[in-house]
Amino acid sequence: MGALHEGHLSLMRASVAECDRTVVSIYVNPTQFGPSEDLSSYPRRLKADLRMAEGAGADLTFCPTDAVMYPPGYATYVLQEGLTDVLEGARRPGHFRGVLTVVCKLLNIVPADRAYFGQKDFQQTVVIQRMVADLRIPVVIRVMPTVREPDGLAMSSRNEYLSKDERNQATCLHRALKEAQRRYGLGETGAAKLRRAMEGIVADAPLARADYVEIVDRYTLAPVSRVTERAVAVVAVAIGRTHLIDNMPFGPAANEG
């Protein structure tokens, strides 16, 4: 959605390395924002984004308008059951309807062989992979590793909303995930114990409020009681007016579907 950072550029570079042509879409999609969310204030700097995309090796940048994507009379949306009702979907009703609709439209407008998404938006990658499989869209979804700041905070366009104090405390997401991974490496497989450890770290950051702290199956998004390599720890935290998400697989991260 623009306001490009190193995480976005890493996806472009992966495409450039693996594909003959790379097309980048930049579009702040209104249908994935709720009524009280930050659509009007979401950072927009298209000229800078275009320079960054060109520098990363993109061959073409597609920057549609709302009138192109949702012309008068537009009435068709992509709905998905189950996977979109939990985690971000439970907190943001209608969000994934907008995500799936715009991704489906983009893949029809630019019929790519591969499409690149970041692991940081874990649930988004799961629901998009399911849509592609269910609707038989002929594209390979490549899920690439989360790109982080030196202190572990996952890169996000929304990070620029954070004040200095909020930015310092935002590292609680990554620290919580690393603690769960550390305890799992020492032999702890009880999801409840690992979840409490993560919740404790978030609670120690006075400016942070946990929206959810879960350990789920990487394919079904269902909560697990025992942690295996199929499990993924997911955390969402409100810091000030900013909603931040992060995740960490307990086993190897699947990067293709």
Last residue of a domain, one of 81, 113, 144: 144
Q: Are residues 72 and 137 in the same domain?
A: yes
Q: Are residues 46 and 70 in the same domain?
A: yes
Q: Are residues 139 and 228 in the same domain?
A: no
Q: Are residues 164 and 138 in the same domain?
A: no
pLDDT tens, 101-124? 999 999 999 999 999 999 999 999
How many distinct structural domains can be found in the chain? 2
Q: Distance between CA atoms of 103 and 101, rounded to whole angstroms?
A: 6
Q: Are residues 104 and 187 in the same domain?
A: no
Q: Are residues 163 and 222 in the same domain?
A: yes
Joined together, the tokens standing for residue 48 give: 């800078």
Q: What sign does the CA torsion over 122, 125, 101, 108 have?
A: positive
User: CA dist 129 to 113, 121, 150, Å?
Assistant: 14, 13, 30
Q: Is residue 149 part of a domain?
A: no
> What average pLDDT does the chain have?
96
Give percent of the chain above pLDDT 70. 98
Whole-number pLDDT of residue 254: 52
Q: Are residues 136 and 162 in the same domain?
A: no
pLDDT tens, 62-73? 999 999 999 999
Average pLDDT over residues 153-178: 97
Q: Distance between CA atoms of 172 and 234, rounded to whole angstroms?
A: 13
- pTM of structure: 0.94
Q: Is residue 150 part of a domain?
A: no
Q: Is residue 216 part of a domain?
A: yes
Whole-number pLDDT of residue 242: 94
Q: Which of 8, 95, 174, 243 is catalytic?
A: 8
Last residue of a domain, one of 116, 144, 172: 144
Q: Distance between CA atoms of 155 and 32, rounded to whole angstroms?
A: 20
For residue 174, indicate whether it is catalytic.
no
Whole-number pLDDT of residue 215: 98
The range of the structural domain enclosing residue 86 comes to 6-144
Buried b (16+ CB within 10 A) or exposed e, 65-96: eeeebbeeeeeeebebeebbebbbbeebebbb
Last residue of a domain, one of 117, 144, 171: 144
Q: Are residues 166 and 106 in the same domain?
A: no
Whole-number pLDDT of residue 256: 53
Whole-number pLDDT of residue 36: 85
Helices (H) and strands (E) in the chain, counts: 9, 7
Which range among 31-40, 160-169, 212-221 shows the weakest confidence by mean pLDDT?
A: 31-40
Q: Where is 86: in which H helix or E strand?
A: none
Closest CA to 28 of 3, 53, 51: 3
Cα 227 to chain centroid distance, Å, stands at 22
